[in-house]
Amino acid sequence: MSQCCTNGSEQPYDLSQRVNVEDKRLLNCRAVDVNQLWPLKYEWAWEHYLNGCANNWMPSEVPMQKDVALWHSDRFTEGERLVIMRNLGFFSTGESLVGNNIVLAIFEHVTNPEARQYLLRQAFEEAIHTHTFHYIVESLGLDGREVFNMYNEVDSIKGKDEFVMSLTEAVMRPGFSTASVEGVQDFIKNLVGFYVIMEGVFFYSGFVMILSFHRQNRMTGIGEQFQYILRDETVHLNFGIDLINTIKEENPEAWTPELKDELTRMVRQAVEYEVAYARDCLPEGVLGLNERLFREYVQFIADRRLRRIGIPQQYGSRSPFPWMSETMDLAKEKNFFETRVTEYQSAGSLVWD
């Protein structure tokens, strides 16, 4: 019989029987059998899936003419160009690392159909995000080899990427399994590394920088794309937090003081990586932004993320960018798309003859 969830008892389930909702578990359930979505146990996973679908967008729907004209004008300082280039450099490959981690590390071990349904949706969104950077590079006529290779050329981008890539490799190593407590702990480290740190901390100073241009009505095409990405990432983060907290509940023996200490250390280290990245993006300070403000902001964000996974906050910093929360509220509004026609299931696309 194939591997089954045991729901507290050691009796494997008879796969010919209908699924009981209480039999479902996030880890160590049926890995490759037909995954039965019905009945749902983790309503939050399904909700996040529906929210992700409701947010559908394509980068190529965003007009780029104004950005192209502005980029090729003399209305940018070298410092401002550097901010934009280094953000494109980080996100262009960072998005694909998240997609890789879902496909190569997370999906195999999250053996629950509704959570997998969400992961498939998220993986598609990460592909859309990578597509966005291809589209921006193409529209602005940038050197794509420079942008997409920046993680090899800028130390702080390389530092952030290597930090999360090592967590993917830890789950991909031969013999890795979540059947042991140590395996569950390593898996939680991967989830915290990607959902809390990569998508919850490493993306946010980039959002601030690009959306600062957008607030000045500059590079509004890229700004709008970043708003869509931010909206998607808000759902990714919320899914990740629910996933981590529910795995904690189902595997309380894995949630040890030592693990919490290690996760705290990881987040504190990530804050330093992110501050170094802000310094590399803003060597002179542009748009009224500087390293000190980013340190406060990144610490503020890190505290919020830690609290949500049940770990005490570390810094007590306040946000120097209160407008970011307004931007996120705007991004959550359902009518965000009213400015554009986005009819994915238009009659025209369903005519086959």
Binding range to Fe ion, per CB under 5 A, among 44-52, 128-136, 322-330, 343-351: 128-136
Distance CA 192, CA 248 (A): 12
Least distance CB 233 / Fe ion (angstroms) = 5
Q: Which stretch binds Fe ion (CB under 5 A): 51-59, 89-97, 215-223, 244-252?
A: 89-97
| Location of structure tokens 């359902």 | 334
Which of these ranges, 19-27, 193-201, 248-256, 318-326, lies near Fe ion under the rule CB under 5 A? 193-201
**Cβ nearer to Fe ion, comparing 67 with 199:** 199
Smaller CB distance to Fe ion: residue 86 or 231?
231
Q: What residues numbered 268-327 form the site for Fe ion, per CB under 5 A? A: none
By CB under 5 A, the residues from 216 to 235 that bind Fe ion are: 233
Q: State the Cα–Cα distance between residues 251 and 69, nearest whole angstrom.
A: 55
CB of 198 to Fe ion, least distance (A): 8
Question: Which of 67, 76, 92, 95 is the binder for Fe ion (CB under 5 A)?
Answer: 95
- Whichever of 98 and 247 has its CB closer to Fe ion, that residue is 98
129 near Fe ion, rule: CB under 5 A: yes
Least distance CB 52 / Fe ion (angstroms): 10
8 A C-beta contact, residue 232 and residue 125: yes
Q: Which is nearer to Fe ion, 211 or 259 (CB)?
A: 211
Q: In the annotation, is 135 catalytic?
A: yes
Q: Mark 140-179 with x for binding to Fe ion (rule: CB under 5 A) and - for no binding.
A: ----------------------------------------
Stretch that binds Fe ion, among 18-26, 121-129, 215-223, 325-333 (CB under 5 A): 121-129
Peptide bond into 39 cis (omega under 30): yes
User: Pick the catalytic residue: 135, 204, 277, 297?
Assistant: 135
Residue with tokens 């991909």: 172
CB 48 within 8 A of CB 114: no
Task: List the Cα angle 152/137/270 in 5-degree steps.
Answer: 40
User: Stretches 29-37, 63-71, 145-153, 195-203: which one binds Fe ion (CB under 5 A)?
Assistant: 195-203
Q: Tell me whether residue 67 or residue 126 sits nearer to Fe ion (CB atom).
A: 126
Nearest distance from C-beta of residue 204 to Fe ion, angstroms: 12
DSSP assignments along 59-87, one per residue: GGGS--HHHHHHHTSS---HHHHHHHHHH
User: Which positions are catalytic?
Assistant: 135
Residues that bind Fe ion (CB under 5 A): 95, 98, 126, 129, 199, 233, 236
